[in-house]
Structure 1
Amino acid sequence: MKLITTLLLMLCALLPSIALSEELNPFSSKELQIVDKSIPFNSYNEWFNYAKENTRNVAQLDRWQKSVNPSAFERLISTTEAYWIAYQSDGLNISGVMAYPKNYQGEKLPVVIYNRGGNHKHNVSRTQLLNLIMPLAEKGYLVIASNYRGAKFSEGKDEYGGKDVNDVLRLIEVAKTLPGADTSRVAMIGFSRGGMMTWQALRREQDSINTAIIVAGVTDQSSELLRRPEMLKLFQELVPMFDANRDAEVRARSAIHWLDELNTQVPLLLIHGDSDVRVDVSNST
């Protein structure tokens, strides 16, 4: 995890820095509403007690303890701000999260769009926020993430790389309305399913994304369906008219078929472990 975070910070650091003073609320607008603090705990012990009272079993609490480093938590809540957000995409209310440095001095911040993994009702979790998003914000970035349509607090239906990609691209336009965001400097990061979303965003938006990082993303859905046939049920459930348009829908979600359509001037970093049991490393080689 430390290696991934370090690499993300290194690539994002390639973006140049420019300062510009703003007097207005820098990270909200009519297009993006701040809903509430995403980590409303003032100490590790307070969060631990909350987790202990609200987890279903000992194994779940053990996973939480392994994913939350006490010293990192104490540092990050003192150096960053993180909020649940809401915005509109295709007329739907979409939920998400945003983080930025607490010592913000009025300069425009480069933007990182974080694309989560998972499907259905998944959201960006608090532990993802702590381990992957807040460390970037601490280094001076405005990080925005969508939960996509169909998630627990979003309207609409998850299409697993269909119209939900609009929810990712919409964040670029929303960021342009934020006084504290420098949208001439935009990076995109995607994990697993979020890697697929990032590939599609790069295909559709050739000019606004300056650099991208894809961690364990799928590039060849056909191979993955052969390797994990249980994924067919997911496609049939989430992808509209999948059985009637199987080949076209699989290709649309497989960057291996349209790599030549991407902007070759956009730096791209692929990260993938060779022991990944969910997404085979061949998707990144």
Structure 2
Amino acid sequence: MAADYSFLRLFSTDPASPPFSSLLNNSILSFVFFTAVTAIAYFLPFASKLERLHSKLLRIQFTNRVAAFTHAVIVVTLGALVYFETGFKQGWSLMSIDVTPLSMLTHDVAFGYFLYDFAFMATFEPNWLYYCHHVGSLGTIATTRLLSTTQWLTVNAILFGELTNPLQLPWEFARIASKKLSEKRTDAALATSRDLKRLYESLSLPYTLLYVLCRVFYAPGFTLRHIYVWYTRYNLRTGGDVPLSFISPQPFCTFVYLMVFITISVSWQWAHGIVTGYIKFRAKRRTQKKA
């Protein structure tokens, strides 16, 4: 007996939701695009310099950061366009959002990128926090994309989440690369390490503040709004009065809530590490100045 998915119409703003093939095709193109960006970045002069000074792995990590930076620029631009396009058109209402080709494109680009980045991390930089974050992001993006519901919220979560990447990527890479290059005792490696360390230190304060603002407050705020909107829409369309809780009357909703919870939890875990790391960094600098 075929499974009955008719209950999904209770949550969708568009009964004729975009087919899965549309998401799949566009996401594959996005995946291929970011893979191509990685391949191009591999041949940049600075990438070859990193391999010459340290290792091929550091060069590969650099290419991934270039792809991530490219993704951040693209989705922040798309997200800003969706934000203002929908906001001015709908009067900033969260319950009557039109699904637009631009909002669907933003979902598809982000979905393809997260697939690419998940594959990269699994191959070169295994990290369970990245796995959890990407699984939660993929689950949330796929749900809102396929059901054509709460897309404005997801786009804004992506927008404010990725807004940190233009600072995060050079900050993170400079921190990692400066430590690795300092292990090499050649003059060229040490000089490059010092340059990267200065970059890392100069970006630490603005990056920490931006990360806390975007990843602790703005992006989770839009993401958590999914739970309220889905719960409200379910009650409106069933005529019921289901109390808001994590355990939903529909297992599908519980799945969405779980994806939201995972994504936010990982972001807050990263934020905790970044803030405590910055506090330790400042304490170390004060100690060095006194000495």
Normalising to structure 2: TM-score of the pair? 0.28
Normalising to structure 1: TM-score of the pair? 0.29
Point out which structure has higher relative CO (alpha carbons under 8 A, 6+ apart).
2
| Higher share in strand | 1
Which has more radius of gyration? 2
